[in-house]
Amino acid sequence: MNAASDVGNHAQRQARWHYGEVAFWLIVLACGFLFPTRYLIMTDILRLALFAMSLDLILGYAGIVSLGHAAFFGVGAYAAGLLALHGIINEPVLALLAAGLAAMVLGFATSFLVIRGVDLTRLMVTLGIALLLEALAERFSNITGGTDGLQGIEMQPIFGQIPFDMFGKAGFFYSLAVLFLLFLLARRVVHSPFGLSLRAIKNNPLRAAAIGIPVNRRLIAIYTLAAFYAGIAGALFTQTTAIASLDVFAFERSADLMLVLVIGGTGYLYGGLIGAVVFRMLQELFSTITPQYWQFWIGLVLVVIVLVGRQRLHRWVLYVPNLIIKQVAGRKAVVAVPESDV
């Protein structure tokens, strides 16, 4: 067996659906039926999961550090809000796509800035772009509603059939469907040769370039795709909550997103989903203990995670599940330990 087919085999084995994954999605779907009183927070988690998956695409797979991912979230949110408010595109799914595309255009335009320079410059440029957009949204308050945000958004029924209800049931299943579809797409992308080349770039851009991977073009492509995902997440936010305010661009949003991904782990797509659940739970817990100062505990979690080491933490968390899987199935764990970080 030559090296090429070896790599192909390995990649194919990685790409196969595991039982664990199927179980994961079934559990998520089951949650929709088991907790009918908690639709709002569950929708919130799904949105955050999609947003985190978007960051995972660039951070976990391409190694681009971003402190301003909220920029795309915000553009998606405002685009969806404006489309609905002015009745330009009434159908939510189409509006969702349009909002995603708007963010995608911005992502493509800014990707040229981001691929330049080292980590530090990237941090700065991404942060700068998010702040710039926030300043712009504030400046053009006649369009965006300024600090009050867009108000009076009324969402039309999905496909003209399913109306959004006040309990958020439709919103939840709508978000879940969007998340699942986009997850499938992301899964396909990261297991494709394109996705493999991204990992090569992440591990060593110089070597990747030496074996003939067009580094910059790949980075632009994945950054644009991630912007699309973030835009969709933002649009979902507006569509399911019917508001869009300036805080969609806030730095805290980007920072929280980092935390979500750090909790869940990067580079295996489920990190964002698991992280989103854990993060919201933590947030709920902290705000019941100290309503005003939950940020302190969030910060503490970040500090502890970094000090303990993300790798070690994930090994600990997966220790018990892996033990069970080993006992039951008599083979190595299916839940992959996330790849090494940037």
For other proteins, give the closer residue by CB, 26 or 124.
Answer: 124
Q: What is the DSSP letter of 178?
A: H
Residues 6+ apart with CB under 8 A from 159: 91, 93
Q: Which one of the spans 41-49, 50-58, 95-103, 255-263 is the region binding other proteins (CB under 8 A)?
A: 255-263
Show the CA angle centred on residue 283, arms to residues 323 and 82, nearest 5°.
Answer: 120
Q: Out of 299, 312, 319, 324, name the contact with other proteins by CB under 8 A.
A: 299
Between 215-241 and 39-56, two packed helices, what is the crossing angle to 10 degrees? 170
| 110: Cβ contacts below 8 Å, ≥ 6 apart | 71, 125, 129, 223, 227
Least distance from C-beta 250 to other proteins, angstroms? Answer: 9
Residue 131, amino acid: L
Contacts of 200 (CB under 8 A, 6+ apart): 207, 208, 211, 213
**What SS3 state is found at 244?**
strand
> Shortest Cβ distance from residue 45 to other proteins (Å)?
21
Looking at residue 150, the DSSP 8-state letter turns out to be B
Contacts of 27 (CB under 8 A, 6+ apart): none
Among 220, 305, 325, 334, binds other proteins (CB under 8 A): 305
CB closer to other proteins, 59 vs 89: 59
Q: Is 42 in the site for other proteins (CB under 8 A)?
A: no
Residue 40 as a binder of other proteins (CB under 8 A): the answer is no
Nearest to 223 by CA among 78, 96, 122: 122
Q: Residue from 31, 113, 209, 243 that binds other proteins (CB under 8 A)?
A: 113
Interface residues for other proteins in 198-227 (CB under 8 A)? none
Residue 259 makes contact with other proteins by CB under 8 A:
yes
Q: How many residues bind other proteins (CB under 8 A)?
A: 44
Residues 6+ apart with CB under 8 A from 275: 49, 52, 259, 260, 261, 262, 263, 264, 265
Site string for other proteins, 126-145 (x = CB under 8 A): -xxx-xx--xx--x------
Least distance CB 116 / other proteins (angstroms): 5
Query: What is the C-alpha to C-alpha distance for residues 322 and 337, in angstroms, rounded to an integer?
Result: 10
Residues facing 158 on adjacent strands? 162
Segment interacting with other proteins, rule: CB under 8 A, options 95-103, 182-190, 220-228, 298-306: 298-306
Nearer to other proteins, 8 or 146 (CB): 146
Q: Which of residues 63-92 bind other proteins (CB under 8 A)?
A: 65, 67
Q: Which two three-digit tokens encode residue 67?
A: 């402190």
Stretch that binds other proteins, among 80-88, 167-175, 277-285, 294-302 (CB under 8 A): 294-302
List of residues contacting other proteins (CB under 8 A): 59, 65, 67, 113, 116-121, 123-125, 127-129, 131-132, 135-136, 139, 251-252, 255, 258-259, 262, 292-296, 298-303, 305-307, 310, 341-342
